[in-house]
Structure 1
Amino acid sequence: MRPSLTIPLLFAARSVSWRFASRGSLAKQQHVLSDEASITDYELPDVIPGGSPFSFCNQSRKTDLYNISMINFNPQPLYLDNGFGVTIYGTYLKDVGPNATFEMTGDCGSHCKEYGYNHTEGETESWGFCPFHNETQQLDKKGGCPPVEGFALTNVAGWVMPWYRVPAWYNFTFDAKTADGERIYCLTAEVCLRWEDEKMNKWYVDHGSPGANCTWPR
């Protein structure tokens, strides 16, 4: 018996909360990161600084509106039915404008064949951009959305829904675009999600669940 693989949606529109650093901290971070993320010489790194599991999508370009310079993700490892926080640092090349969109897709990533799938369509959820970025901090703006040109810091918090319970590798893509279809940013992360209680993982291992012995990356 092989348990079916269902993609857990990490972000739910009604489950997202926000946490923010002080304005003084924001100014300090802008100074620290300025040498790493100048617009004139910005290049997309293979690994985004900060030690998170995120990387840029294949379609990401240095012309994306949000030049992301660092991402922090905590806690690591992340377990099923646990909360998490993401802090994103970067520079908006210009104002985002109203009615931008935010799309999240969950799929089996590079493990589809291992899990018995011959496609990677997964599950997709779409929302407005601002519900997830409404409190982005910018030095010359009190907050709110849409963001404007300049350095910005955003903290997002969420949790892994517990009713999707199969321990395995999952791939998540987060794609944000303006109302005109211009890409704001695109991030992807392939992560191992398991139960923190190893007794709960054991059932899936014993019943042949693919990927049940996966380990958190990095």
Structure 2
Amino acid sequence: MRLSAAFALLSVGASALSIFSDDKQHAIAADDDLDVPGQSPLKFCEGDRSNDLITIDSVILTPNPPEAGQTLVIEATGTVKETIEEGAYVNLQVKYGYIRLINTQADLCTEIKNVDLECPIEKGKISIIKTVELPKEIPPGKYVVDADVYTADDERITCLTAKVDFARKSSFFDL
């Protein structure tokens, strides 16, 4: 999975940042303290979120959970409590099972362009709708994405995590 694809999914929750579920049977609703409101498998990281610079009101993924080879539509709303300036960054980690595929620090203002935003991200309400084409070549398996987002002054913007189990597509030849 490309860095920009992984970040686009998660960056919706960090301006609200994306994705992923352990349960293919039903969409996940916000019924737990860590669940991000809406219809997505996004969860907040454990810990105090009262000083986070973004409040996420809702993230809706269609389809939920995402599927390889499908178009994913991400709708997110929230409030930016303080203007986010150049120099903000995200510590991004993507794991496939126990294998770490990505472990990087990325410039938020560069990556946020994937959801059609630019820095500075002004204080106030924010709404994002983004379409992402998920490659059909995503290998089946469990993926975990963690994104911890900070300002240039190391103030936490938000922290999100998500899980998805991309199932093997059955075909005529699998019968």
Residue equivalent to 1:37 = none
Q: How do 1:91-130 residues align onto structure 2 when only pairs under 5 Å count?
A: 91-108=79-96, 117=98, 121-130=100-109
User: Partner letter of residue 12 of structure 1?
Assistant: A
From the superposition, tell whether residues 186 and 159 of structure 1 become closer, same or farther in structure 2 (CA, over 3 Å). farther
The aligned length equals 153
From the superposition, tell whether residues 60 and 75 of structure 1 become closer, same or farther in structure 2 (CA, over 3 Å). farther
Structure 2 CA distance for aligned equivalents of residues 136 and 12 of structure 1: 10
From the superposition, tell whether residues 191 and 52 of structure 1 become closer, same or farther in structure 2 (CA, over 3 Å). same
1:145 aligns with 2:119: yes
TM-score (norm 1): 0.57
Structure 1 CA distance for aligned equivalents of residues 174 and 154 of structure 2: 45
Q: How do 1:1-218 residues align onto structure 2 when only pairs under 5 Å count?
A: 8-9=1-2, 11-12=4-5, 45-59=33-47, 61-108=49-96, 117=98, 121-134=100-113, 144-165=118-139, 167-195=140-168, 197-199=169-171
User: Whose strand fraction is larger, Structure 1's or Structure 2's?
Assistant: 2
From the superposition, tell whether residues 82 and 144 of structure 1 become closer, same or farther in structure 2 (CA, over 3 Å). same
TM-score (norm 2): 0.69
Structure 1 CA distance for aligned equivalents of residues 174 and 135 of structure 2: 20
User: Partner letter of residue 144 of structure 1?
Assistant: E
Structure 2 CA distance for aligned equivalents of residues 155 and 174 of structure 1: 19
Structure 2: segments with no counterpart, 5+ residues:
9-31
Offset at 1:180? 1.4
Offset at 1:161? 4.0
Offset at 1:100? 1.1
Residue equivalent to 1:39 = none
Of all paired residues, the percent bearing the same amino acid is 24
The structure that has the greater radius of gyration is 1
Structure 1 CA distance for aligned equivalents of residues 173 and 71 of structure 2: 19
Structure 1: segments with no counterpart, 5+ residues:
1-7, 17-43, 138-142, 204-218
From the superposition, tell whether residues 154 and 9 of structure 1 become closer, same or farther in structure 2 (CA, over 3 Å). same
